[in-house]
């Protein structure tokens, strides 16, 4: 007999964009694959009148309320409402802000969206993203010596998405696709090996990725590009090169972009 799938409504409320609250909720809900979660996002909520209507909806849906409200009085309003009406609530900001206030003696600004202001960090991130695009796929070898991070890897080892993810964390990244017998630019040998990361993959995984790629393009999946012997030769070439360079080798087959990026950041020279 089939069991009915459990369902749960989650209301994410913020007086900014709501990314923090949504990330918190998603980080927790992935631990419950047998539950169907229905997300309702309410960004830029800055008045109690708007909150009142949203919370009435939450009450009717018996929702779990997640909020990251920092505007004065808004967090208390939601917390009190949920307490009185038996709704589960996660206040993602108040306790952290209050703890920092107690430890430092500083009075918080209570300004929403502070982390989205156009500050130096924002412009550094834009510069890093432009750098990643300019020096993607080895388009200009001059980028390798300028980069904070250099990624090497055969085709379909997540070099470009990883470059953009790291750029969003303000790292200037250049990457180079590796092709046997094609050689590599002289500039690579001038880079500190601790800044270079060799990406590899399991042959079977890479074969599946490449076949799916060809199918997506409406092409025959059985080509030299997806041929298992060719893939094994490419990976062997790459691994030998990584050993010569003396860089860290990362197998991305069972890692998310976030996991690989964290490993790279933690391995960078201080």
**Which strands form 35-42's sheet, in the order they lie side by side?**
35-42, 6-13, 64-67, 89-91
* Residue numbers belonging to the annotated binding site: 153-160
Pairing of strands 196-200, 149-153: parallel
- The residue count of the chain comes to 270
Q: Give the span between the Cα atoms of 244 and 248, in whole angstroms.
A: 11
* Residue numbers belonging to the annotated binding site for ADP: 153-160
Backbone angles phi, psi at 196, to 5 degrees: -105, 140
| Cα distances (angstroms) measured from residue 45 to each of 42, 67, 78, 118, 216 | 7, 10, 12, 21, 41
Pairing of strands 196-200, 173-177: unpaired
Closest CA to 166 of 206, 208, 205, 195: 195
Q: Reduce the DSSP state of residue 247 to 3 states and report it.
A: coil
**Which strands form 196-200's sheet, in the order they lie side by side?**
173-177, 149-153, 196-200, 248-251
């Amino acid at each position: 007999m089939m069991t009915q799938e459990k369902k749960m409504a989650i209301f994410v409320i913020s007086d900014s964009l709501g990314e923090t609250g949504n990330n918190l909720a998603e980080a927790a809900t992935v631990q419950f694959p047998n539950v169907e979660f229905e997300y309702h996002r309410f960004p830029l909520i800055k008045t109690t009148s708007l909150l009142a209507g949203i919370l009435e909806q939450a009450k009717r849906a018996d929702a779990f309320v997640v909020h990251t409200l920092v505007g004065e009085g808004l967090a208390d309003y939601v917390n009190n409402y949920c307490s009185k009406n038996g709704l589960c609530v996660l206040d993602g900001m108040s306790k952290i802000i209050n703890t920092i206030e107690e430890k430092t003696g500083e009075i918080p600004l209570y300004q929403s969206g502070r982390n989205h202001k156009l500050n130096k960090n924002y412009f550094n991130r834009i510069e890093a993203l432009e750098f990643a695009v300019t020096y993607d796929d080895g388009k200009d070898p001059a980028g390798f010596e300028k980069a904070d991070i250099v990624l090497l890897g055969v085709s379909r080892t997540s070099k470009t998405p990883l470059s953009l993810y790291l750029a969003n964390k303000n790292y200037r990244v250049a990457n180079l696709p590796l092709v046997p017998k094609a050689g590599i630019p002289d500039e690579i040998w001038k880079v500190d090996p601790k800044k270079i990361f060799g990406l590899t993959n399991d042959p079977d995984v890479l074969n599946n990725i490449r076949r799916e790629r060809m199918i997506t393009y409406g092409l025959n999946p059985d080509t030299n590009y997806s041929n298992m012997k060719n893939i094994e030769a490419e990976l062997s070439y790459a691994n030998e090169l990584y050993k010569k360079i003396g860089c860290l080798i990362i197998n991305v087959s069972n890692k998310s972009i976030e996991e690989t990026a964290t490993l790279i950041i933690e391995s960078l020279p201080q």
